[in-house]
Structure 1
Amino acid sequence: MRTLSWARRSGFFSACQPLPMPSTTTSPLTAPASGKPWWRFPRDPVFQFYSRGTAINHFLRRRIRPLGIGVMIAIVIATGIAAGNTGRAVYLTFSTACSMVLVGLLALPFRRAKLTAVRDLPAHATAGQPLTYQIHLKNHRRRSPRRFELLETAPDPRPGRAQFRAAREPGEEQRNFFDRRLAWYRWNWLCESRLLFEGGRSAPVERLRAASGGTVAVTLVPRRRGLIRFNDLRVVLPDPIGLFQRCMKVPAPPATLAVLPRRYPLPRFELPGSARFQPGGEATSRHSGAAGEFTGLRDYQPGDPLRLIHWATWARVGKPVVKELEDTFFPRHGLILDTFPQPGDEDLFEDAVSVAASFVVAVDAHESLIDLMFIAGHERVVTAGQGIARAETLLEVLAGVESAAEEDFDLLARLVLRHADDLAGCLCVFSGWSESRARLLARLNRAGIETSALVVCREKPAAVPRCHFVRSSELAKDLLTLPREL
């Protein structure tokens, strides 16, 4: 009876009353207050699995060394063998491997470093060519860090959900239904193509003096043109056995590196058009020295440049006299870049940019002008040569050019035709071949502009007049077989 009276006073029976039944308009899996289910199925489980799995793999690979992977594989194998074998050698191998792993993990917290760094980057790099630069380190601890490496981490190459679903791996339609559905090969292809550089690891540094600094060289290979933003520098501190390593971020100011397009060697060639020339003068030729051959002397006229004054004659006759030089002439070529690749031909566009960069470097900018023309949201014309700008200016422009969202060859044709009177000829670099590109080429030739085309394609089609086809898979080889007169 006492127990029952205590239960009534404490409210035990009221707490044990059954819960009210949910209304017919509310799902039992829905919270009445928020109106949202308490559970949520992943919106895109395949993408989430690949994205998180890649992040975990990246995290582990930066902290487990190859020897550590081998030891853990040995533990797994020894465990499987020990299930049906009572030999001492198996258990000895298992215990030794486990002891090594335990010692390596326990030693990691004692591997410390407190560093700051400043990167000394060059002005440019080139896609596909190794780049070595210096990193200046400063140690802020009394103890000297020993046996460490520096590691530059590339920006995250994982694609977004929309890009993953919209992209198609080259040759994906030939894979089986299972591979097309899971799109594992597409994910690997996207991550590989979006990776900005390889390497980025320094040679092992044995010791950095306490409360002092030093310089460490880092080598990497840019994989593609564009800008690389460095903002994740790590110091790698391995354990004494070499199984695992501690990966700590090093404070360093963010830095940016411009990567120029890949270039290929070209044979000797002549660009289209050789009859039209532009007269040289002070407005277009700003190099030092005479603009042409010396023809005589004449009286000074207001506006004559001071560099043409003949000082010896002025001192002799008592009035200013200037040198008279013959006019110089130089050709002006148009380099037209196709920024309208078809869906799935983005790799051809990258190859077309590399081909255009190869011609920019090969053309003698001291003897001609080059007008780079393309459409990137709006009309773009960049001129180099004859003291106006260096060829590096065009390479920097090509390093950042992006493909256009919509095809508009009519706009590109009007851009070229506005400069027709100044051009000796044009070379078009196409990313693929189509009827719209053929019409552009014919339209420019009908307008009196001597124009030829260099087409980057997967397979060479039938021969077309004034067109030179190069295969993307054999780009370097096909470029060397170009005729002398393009």
Structure 2
Amino acid sequence: MLRLFALLHRIARRTGERLTPLGTLLGVTALAAGAFGIDTRRTLGAEAFSLLACLLLLAWLSSLRLRLPLTVERQLPDTATVGEPLRYRVRLHNRGERPLADLQLRDLLLEPLPDSAQFSRSGHADRRLNPFDRVIGYPRWLRLLRHNRGADIAPSMIGPLPPGEAHSLTVDLLPLRRGYLHFRELQVARPDPLGLCLARQRFPAPAPLLVLPR
């Protein structure tokens, strides 16, 4: 069961990282059209599915490669405190000869998957959940994963970067537990020309941050 949870989370995470809100909407619409299109007598559903699937495929192909003349540097404080919002800076430098725009920054933490022992120790699921969720346990698994990650970091929009200039961006972080947070990498994303998929460029930037109790 835990392997299934990990697979579902991986699919949801990659979908969220690669699709824009519009792309997600079109993907859901394509799935619905495909379900109706199974009946060959309902040609409208089949045609809608084919059109939307082609649009998503073109957007995905155009988003496979992103190479920006960009340097990215994270500037962390020495410590953070559990439950207290933290702001830190990320410096971006456009080394190219053209302006950069429509960019989004994501800072990613390591998130160890909950194992069977941790899942068993976590006790019963929240009684406020519906019976299905209480029995299956996926919401509890997600809470454990969030705890293991240790913090929530909101994506940040990057303002226009003129050629040759640097810009400092403020990133918001909320520590969820004490101990060390382990940063993994920074990602800069840009939507494809259709606005459906996000092309990503990764900047490995491992770093620890100590979170102190209140």
**TM-score bin (small chain):** 0.7 to 0.9
The answer for the alignment partner of 1:200 in structure 2 is 154
Deviation at 1:250, TM superposition (A): 1.3
Q: Which residue of 233, 240, 250 corresponds with 2:193? A: 240
DSSP-derived class of the 1:232 partner: strand
Indicate whether 1:213 and 2:172 are aligned. Answer: no
Deviation at 1:158, TM superposition (A): 1.7
The answer for the alignment partner of 1:377 in structure 2 is none
DSSP-derived class of the 1:219 partner: strand
The answer for the alignment partner of 2:210 in structure 1 is 258
The answer for the alignment partner of 1:57 in structure 2 is 12
* Identity percentage of aligned residues: 29
Which letter maps to 2:61?
L
The answer for the alignment partner of 1:80 in structure 2 is 35
DSSP-derived class of the 2:113 partner: coil
For residues 277-304 of structure 1, what are the alpha-carbon distances to aligned partners after superposition, in whole Å with 9 as ceiling and x for unaligned?
xxxxxxxxxxxxxxxxxxxxxxxxxxxx
Deviation at 1:228, TM superposition (A): 1.9
Indicate whether 1:116 and 2:68 are aligned. Answer: no
| Alpha carbons 2:126, 2:134 under 8 Å: kept | no
Q: Which residue of 8, 15, 23 corresponds with 1:68? A: 23
* Cα distance in 2 between the residues matched to 1:217 and 1:171: 35
DSSP-derived class of the 2:141 partner: helix
User: What's the TM-score, normalizing by structure 2?
Assistant: 0.78
Q: Which residue of 180, 204, 207 corresponds with 1:227? A: 180
Which letter maps to 2:180?
L
Q: Which residue of 71, 90, 113 corresponds with 1:135? A: 90
For residues 410-444 of structure 1, what are the alpha-carbon distances to aligned partners after superposition, in whole Å with 9 as ceiling and x for unaligned?
xxxxxxxxxxxxxxxxxxxxxxxxxxxxxxxxxxx
* Cα distance in 1 between the residues matched to 2:46 and 2:132: 45
* Cα distance in 1 between the residues matched to 2:171 and 2:132: 44
* Cα distance in 2 between the residues matched to 1:150 and 1:177: 36
* Cα distance in 2 between the residues matched to 1:49 and 1:92: 33
| Alpha carbons 1:225, 1:259 under 8 Å: kept | yes
Decide which structure has the larger Cα Rg and report it.
1
DSSP-derived class of the 1:168 partner: coil
* Cα distance in 2 between the residues matched to 1:138 and 1:222: 28
Deviation at 1:129, TM superposition (A): 3.0
| Alpha carbons 2:101, 2:158 under 8 Å: kept | no
Q: Which runs of 5+ in 1 are unaligned?
A: 1-45, 262-356, 358-486
* Cα distance in 1 between the residues matched to 2:124 and 2:133: 15
Q: Which residue of 95, 113, 130 corresponds with 1:158? A: 113
Deviation at 1:200, TM superposition (A): 3.3
Deviation at 1:185, TM superposition (A): 4.2
* Cα distance in 2 between the residues matched to 1:154 and 1:49: 22
For residues 321-380 of structure 1, what are the alpha-carbon distances to aligned partners after superposition, in whole Å with 9 as ceiling and x for unaligned?
xxxxxxxxxxxxxxxxxxxxxxxxxxxxxxxxxxxx4xxxxxxxxxxxxxxxxxxxxxxx
Which letter maps to 2:68?
A
Structure 1 residue ranges, 4+ long, deviating more than 6 angstroms after superposition: 175-178
Distance 1:258 1:145, change over 3 A: same
* Cα distance in 2 between the residues matched to 1:200 and 1:177: 30
* Cα distance in 2 between the residues matched to 1:67 and 1:115: 27
CA RMSD, aligned part only? 3.2
Deviation at 1:166, TM superposition (A): 4.1
Which letter maps to 1:56?
I
Which letter maps to 2:76?
L
Q: How many residues align?
A: 211
Distance 1:54 1:128, change over 3 A: same
Deviation at 1:54, TM superposition (A): 2.2
| Alpha carbons 2:125, 2:134 under 8 Å: kept | no
| Alpha carbons 2:36, 2:46 under 8 Å: kept | no
The answer for the alignment partner of 1:191 in structure 2 is 145
DSSP-derived class of the 1:122 partner: coil
Which letter maps to 1:241?
L
| Alpha carbons 2:23, 2:195 under 8 Å: kept | yes
DSSP-derived class of the 1:198 partner: strand
* Cα distance in 2 between the residues matched to 1:200 and 1:129: 15
Deviation at 1:240, TM superposition (A): 2.1
DSSP-derived class of the 2:162 partner: coil
